[in-house]
Amino acid sequence: MADITREQIVHLAQLARVDLTDDELDRVSDELDSILDSVARVQEIALDDVSRTSHPIALRNVFRDDVIHDVLSRDRALSSAPDTQAGQFKIPAILKGE
C-alpha cells in the first residue's frame, strides 16, 4: 500500500490551487492510494530483456520513389493567369501598407 498522508494531499491541493472538503480529501486519499499501488505493481515487472518502445507495433516509414512526371512549364502555367509580372502570378493586394 502506498504511503501518502493526508497532509501531503492537502499540500498537493494547495499547490494545484484546489479547495477540497474533508469528504473529498478522504475520497482522493483512497483514489491516490489505489493509483500509487497500481503504479508500484507495474514497476515490479522485470523488463530487463524488453526493449523500450513508444508503440506496441514497430513502425516504419514507407516512402515511394520520387519520380518526376510531366510538369507544366512556367510559360504554360502562366498562360491562363489573368495577370502576370516578372514570370510570376500577379494578384490583387489584400493588405494595405508596404
Distance CA 33, CA 3 (A): 7
Whether 25 is covered by a domain: the verdict is: yes
CB 33 within 8 A of CB 58: no
Residue pointed to by grid coordinates 494547495: 14
Whether 17 is covered by a domain: the verdict is: yes
Whether 22 is covered by a domain: the verdict is: yes
Confidence of residue 2 (pLDDT cuts 50, 70, 90): low
Distance CA 5, CA 31 (A): 12
Whether 62 is covered by a domain: the verdict is: no
74's enclosing H/E stretch is: helix 74-78
- Domain assignment of residue 12, given as a range: 6-43
The pTM assigned to this predicted structure is 0.43
- pLDDT one-digit tens code per residue, 34-62: 898 888 888 888 677 777 777 888 888 88
> In total, how many domains does the chain have?
1
Whether 32 is covered by a domain: the verdict is: yes
Whether 53 is covered by a domain: the verdict is: no
In 3D space, the residue among 87, 90, 91, 86 whose CA is nearest the CA of residue 76 turns out to be 87
Instruction: Please give the mean pLDDT across all residues of the chain.
Output: 86
CATH number at residue 18: 1.10.20
